[in-house]
Structure 1
Amino acid sequence: MLSYSSANITLHSIQAEHIELLREWRNHPDIRSQMRDQSLISAQQQQQWFASLAKKVDEQHFIAYYAEQPMGYANLKLLQPGIYETGLYVGLERYRGSVVSFLLALCQIDYAFERLNAQALHAEVKRSNHAAQRFNQQLGYQVVGEQAGYQVMHLSPEDYQCARVRLARFIR
């Protein structure tokens, strides 16, 4: 099992024992409403998704831990050499919109740039999700366009390092 720690968060590659918790979080209306596919995920669909991950060598899916407790999900998908699409959500309600949300994102981004040697990260955020747009911009993401109701954002290592220095003043 792959593990990576940074910013007080530990990412563990998803195992079978995690999938029901991830499904519960993913089906929560606050999270589901921000997804492209907003349908409820059944236990069978979740099992099929998990089984399909073994074949997806260009994707990495993690359960995130904070204070030794599962609290969120993160993924990275290779779009083209050196460029990864990011996705994440905070499953535990008490951490949504808190500094812990930033810690999860920082850990995911650190992993992408340090371990995967990513040249850039790509995110697509619903145009109506202003909180996520601000969140990503605070992490250094730049808006590069719009596509089918989503804001397209990119993050370079340089922009991230500048943002990380600014964020370090507030996150200890």
Structure 2
Amino acid sequence: MHLRQYGLVLESLRPAYLELLRNWRNDPEIRQHMEYQAYISPEMQHRWFTQVHTIENFYFVILESLRPVGLIHLSAVDDETGQAGLFIGEPKYQGSTVPIRASLSLLDFAFHSLYLEYVTAKVKKDNLTAIQYNSALGFKVWKEAEHPDFYWMIVDREGYNTGAKSLKNAAALLGDPRLKLTLEGDQALDVMIENDLQRRRATLSGNSSLQIGKD
């Protein structure tokens, strides 16, 4: 599955990316902001992938000019909500427009394709950059997380559409603002996702700007 928007491609995480992802995730600069901070072995990485490779979780590798530069996800998805997260693994793209554009694509997908009511994100309290970043997308600090060093932040559809409007206008200058989703018809999980998208469109909304294609 691929999402294309704002000049980026978000490609569903697959086994070929796991070692790259593991190396990114074990980098001390990235790990310090994570709730789980222990070293991740190849076996642990594959076990985690098996657990999250389901219709309730959307993990995407961020591709800039077809180069993998980071990971973004929407996990624990049901008919109302999902949990978002992001990190950029390639230092060159940290502080660039890439994370903003990737986040806009993910939230467009969440609110205007899956028709979720709200999206949450868990952010470390001392990560002021992440808190400001999420605030620019319409998120607000919601409550203390289970781990005492983290907050839950939350944004609903209206808050995102209003709060991120200027960012979306700016991102549209860098690439097509229309979200295009491409599914692989021979992949069992993509078939399940397509069926779920059709169900959501039929029951939760009358219109969608989403374009769905097949690889």
Considering the TM-score relative to the shorter chain, is it more than 0.5?
A: yes
Corresponding letter in the other structure for 1:47: H
Query: After alignment, is 161-170 or 56-65 more displaced?
Result: 161-170
Amino-acid identity (%): 29
Aligned length: 170
Q: What does residue 48 of structure 2 align with?
A: 49
Q: What does residue 154 of structure 1 align with?
A: 154
Show CA shifts across 1:104-126 (max 9, x none). 11111111112211110001100
Max radius of gyration: which structure? Answer: 2
Q: What does residue 24 of structure 2 align with?
A: 25
1:73, 1:89 within 8 Å by CA — same for their partners in 2?
Answer: yes
Show CA shifts across 1:104-150 (max 9, x none). 11111111112211110001100011000000001110112222221
Corresponding letter in the other structure for 1:149: D
User: What is the SS of the residue equivalent to 1:58?
Assistant: coil
Show CA shifts across 1:37-90 (max 9, x none). 101111111121222234x43212111111211111111123653111111111
Structure showing greater relative contact order (alpha-carbon pairs closer than 8 Å, 6 or more residues apart): 2
Q: What does residue 69 of structure 2 align with?
A: 71
1:95 aligned to 66, 90, 93, which one? 93
**TM-score if structure 2 supplies the norm length?**
0.74
**TM-score if structure 1 supplies the norm length?**
0.91
1:124 aligns with 2:122: yes
Query: After alignment, is 64-73 or 145-154 more displaced?
Result: 145-154
Q: Where does the alignment leave 5 or more consecutive residues of structure 2 unmatched?
A: 174-215
Structure with the higher fraction of residues in strand conformation:
1
CA distance in 1, matches of 2:5, 2:163: 16
Query: After alignment, is 161-170 or 135-144 more displaced?
Result: 161-170
What is the alpha-carbon root mean square deviation over aligned residues?
A: 1.6
Q: Where does the alignment leave 5 or more consecutive residues of structure 1 unmatched?
A: none
CA distance in 2, matches of 1:24, 1:74: 16
